Amino acid sequence: MTVVFNGPYFEAMNVRNLLEEKEISVFIQNEYMSSIEPWVVTSGGLNPVKLQVDESDFEQAESIIKNYLNGNINIETGDK
């Protein structure tokens, strides 16, 4: 598993949904602690949630995330 995204809880869940729509399995690290005590997970509680994907899906996941962060994906439909 390779970390493909670090971010706040709600943004990480948006990214997770986009990846799972493309049938990419996602492992979420620090999902619960990021909501309860994010400062325990990371210094200052900054970007506590990590999303990990299998190495074989890394390039596709990275492309989807890049498009999402650049505003090129509609979150409601997942389309470019």
- How does pLDDT run across 11-47, given as a tens digit for each residue? 999 999 999 999 999 999 877 566 666 666 665 666 7
Q: What is the pLDDT of residue 38?
A: 61
What distance in Å separates the CA atoms of residue 21 and residue 30, rounded to the nearest whole number? 22
Rounded to two decimals, what is the model's pTM? 0.77
Q: What is the pLDDT of residue 30?
A: 79
Under CATH, which number does the domain 2-69 receive? Answer: 3.30.70
For residue 57, give Cα distances in angstroms to 8, 17, 29: 22, 15, 17
